[in-house]
Amino acid sequence: MKNVNTVVSTAMASLIALGALGLQSEAFAADKKDVEKCYGVTKAGKNDCKTLSNACAGHSTADNQKDAFIALPAGTCERIVGGSLEAPADMK
């Protein structure tokens, strides 16, 4: 009986793990498509990439920094007050 419980437990754990891996790969695929850069809406230290004043993600120095962006699902940025799909002119 103990052997059967071990086999069943192992099988269930395997199914749960495979399911979790499937969900992660779907989420990753969704991250790559249908996203846009939204400038001017990030909190300090929460930007996704470099800005004019720093070279790394997560290093913006002020809230709503105009040259800092965050990747958002397509169509979201236009609905956020202060959000812009265009980088500031001096950043291009």
Q: How far apart are CA 53 and CA 61, in angstroms?
A: 8
Diameter of the chain by CA atoms? 72
Tell me: do 14 and 25 sit in the same domain: yes
Q: Are residues 41 and 6 in the same domain?
A: no
Residues 52 and 11 in one domain: no
Q: Give the tens place of pLDDT for each residue, 28-83.
A: 545 557 999 999 999 988 888 877 777 788 888 888 888 888 999 999 999 999 99
- Is residue 5 located within the same domain as residue 41? no
Check residue 29 and give its pLDDT: 46
Say if residue 12 is in the same domain as residue 52. Answer: no
- Same domain flag for 27 and 38: no
Burial 61-88 (b: 16+ CB within 10 A, else e): eeeebbbbbbebeeeebeeeeebbeebe
Say whether both 48 and 19 belong to one domain. no
State how many domains the chain has.
2
**pTM as predicted:** 0.57
Structure tokens at 1: 């009986």
Question: Which domain does 62 fall in, by range?
Answer: 34-92
